[in-house]
Amino acid sequence: MSGRQKPYFGILVFPGTNCETDCYHVLKNLLKVDCKYIWHKEKRDDDINAIIIPGGFSYGDYLRSGAVAKFSPIMSFVRDFAQNGGLVIGICNGFQILLEGNLLPGAMLRNDTLKFICKYVNLKVEDINNPFASGYRKDEIINMPIRHNEGNYYINNDGLKSLKKNNQILLRYCDENGIINENTNPNGSVENIAGICNKERNVFGLMPHPEACCEELLGSDNGLKMFKSMVSFIS
């Protein structure tokens, strides 16, 4: 890993990624933090000390979302980086890639509505003892957009028990009062799960798009604290 003290984010770009510019804008223009794009064919990068796998449709979502991207050359670097404790966040398709690559447990199914969903949802911050949500209050209700066709998170019973035992569930879909039930579940996810981290708490995947809600002008700035949390963790 890098010996840098200052945050320097690498934003991965696969063919079909389409949220990389939003992430770049948030880091560079809003938070004045160094960042760069990393093309998926690259084998490694020694400058960076955090990785963002942004949303989009890597490889056209062919076969399964994230199924092909997990074999890109950069992904073995991501695996080593994560194993050495480096921060990795996967947003939407980035989450799907982390699941397919076994950096996070579980898998994504098609939304149970069989519809592409594009709307703002309420989320409950279930855990703040991690580098990604430390800027929020525990049980805070936040508002973020989702836009996906395969966001129906699945994990078997043993896996779910383990997620709960280790406080790996960071975000769940709820209503504006924090109620979590079937009616506040947009896509059929097990227990309304919207975001989970690994046991070591340095790899995080979520379906909502924090990079798309970092300015009031865009309707919500609830995502900014997520980036700020990461920045302060590595500063």
Site residues, other proteins (CB under 8 A): 63-64, 67-68, 71, 100, 106-107, 109-114, 154-156, 188
In the complex, minimum distance from the CB of residue 56 to other proteins, in angstroms, rounded to a whole number: 20
In terms of Cβ atoms closer than 10 Å to its own Cβ (0-12, 13-18, 19+), residue 89 is buried
**What does the block give as tokens for 233?**
């963790």
Set 20, 100, 150, 209: catalytic member: 209
Set 23, 211, 213, 214: catalytic member: 211
Q: Which residues of 205-229 are buried (b: 16+ CB within 10 A; e: fewer)?
A: bbbbbbbbbbeeeeebebbbbbbbb
Distance CA 212, CA 148 (A): 14
In the complex, minimum distance from the CB of residue 87 to other proteins, in angstroms, rounded to a whole number: 25
Catalytic, 23? Answer no
In the complex, minimum distance from the CB of residue 99 to other proteins, in angstroms, rounded to a whole number: 8
Dihedral angle, C-alpha 217, 218, 220, 226, nearest 10 ° = -110
Catalytic, 150? Answer no
> Which is it for the CA torsion 155, 16, 114, 223, positive or negative?
positive
Set 92, 174, 197, 214: catalytic member: 92
Catalytic, 42? Answer no
Return the number of the residue (99 or 206) whose C-beta is nearest other proteins: 99
In the complex, minimum distance from the CB of residue 190 to other proteins, in angstroms, rounded to a whole number: 10
Active-site residues, by number, are 92, 209, 211
